[in-house]
Amino acid sequence: MRAQLFFVFIHLTILATNIILVTSQSSSLAETPLKKVDNETIYKVSKQLCWGCLGESLQFLFAHNLVRAAKWELPLMWDFELQKYAGWWAGLRKADCKLQHSFPEYDFKLGENIYWGSGSTWTPTDAVGAWAGEEKYYNYAQNTCQEGQMCGHYTQIVWKTTRRIGCARVVCDDGDVFMTCNYDPPGEKSASSAHALIIGEHENRLCRKSGTRFMKLFDEDKCMN
User: Residue 23, class by beta-carbon neighbours within 10 Å (0-12 exposed, 13-18 middle, 19+ buried)?
Assistant: middle
Q: Which CATH superfamily is domain 78-222 in?
A: CAP (3.40.33.10)
Residue 107: what pLDDT? 64
Identify which has the larger pLDDT, 30 or 39: 39
222, pLDDT greater than 90: no
The radius of gyration computed from the CA coordinates of the chain, to the nearest angstrom, equals: 17
The model's pLDDT over 162-196, given as tens digits with 9 standing for 90+, comes to 999 999 999 999 999 999 999 999 986 432 232 32
Mean pLDDT across the stretch 47-54? 87
The model's pLDDT over 114-149, given as tens digits with 9 standing for 90+, comes to 999 999 999 999 999 999 999 999 998 888 899 999
Rounded to whole angstroms, what are the CA distances from 201 to 138, 154, 193, 216?
18, 19, 19, 17
Say how far residue 152 (Cα) sits from the centre of its chain.
10
SS (H, E, C) 125-189: HHHHHHHHHHHHHEECCCCEECCCCCCHHHHHHCCCCCCEEEEEEEECCCCCEEEEEEEECCCCC
53 pLDDT band, cuts 50/70/90, is confident
* Residue ranges covered by each domain of the chain: 2-76, 78-222
Question: CA–CA separation, 215 vs 4, rounded Å?
Answer: 34
